[in-house]
Amino acid sequence: MIEAGATARAEFTVEQSDTAAAIALGPEDSFPPVFATSRLVALMELAAARLMTPLLEDGQLSVGVSISVRHNAPTPVGSRVHAIATFEGMERKVYRFRIEAFDEAGAIGEADHTRAIISTERLLAGAEKRKG
């Protein structure tokens, strides 16, 4: 069981591959060379997932159910970013987290996030069924 208020952290240095510019799929896509919101979300999810690791049994993993995120400030390549997930409680079988993210200059984002524990086999079988 996770106690309300428990925290976990994830951090890394922003590289070119973590930028919004790197996610462009074609010449018509134009995004700035700063930390991408999609990578911010991944960092936030990782922090929350780390908090749930002790709850997992063999053959289980935690998956994101929902996230409501605000990306409040741009972060340049080379900056160190980190996210801190705080466990807020459960609603039925869903775990609720509040997550804050920072770079060296201060806060860059915040999110409300939920996760659930699922069988890895069940998840992969469900993905396989979606193949056309």
Q: Write out pLDDT tens, residues 13-52.
A: 999 999 999 999 998 999 999 999 999 999 999 999 999 9
- Domain assignments of the chain as residue spans, ordered by start: 7-129
Residue burial 107-131, b: 16+ Cβ < 10 Å; e: rest? ebbbbebbbbebeeeeeeeeeeeee
Which pTM does this prediction carry? 0.94
CATH code of domain 7-129: 3.10.129.10
pLDDT digits (tens, 9 = 90+) for 46-69: 999 999 999 999 999 999 999 999
- Of the pLDDT bands very low, low, confident and very high (cuts 50, 70, 90), residue 1 is confident
Q: Residue 112 forms beta bridges with which residues? A: 68, 98
Contact present, 112 and 73 (Cβ < 8 Å): no
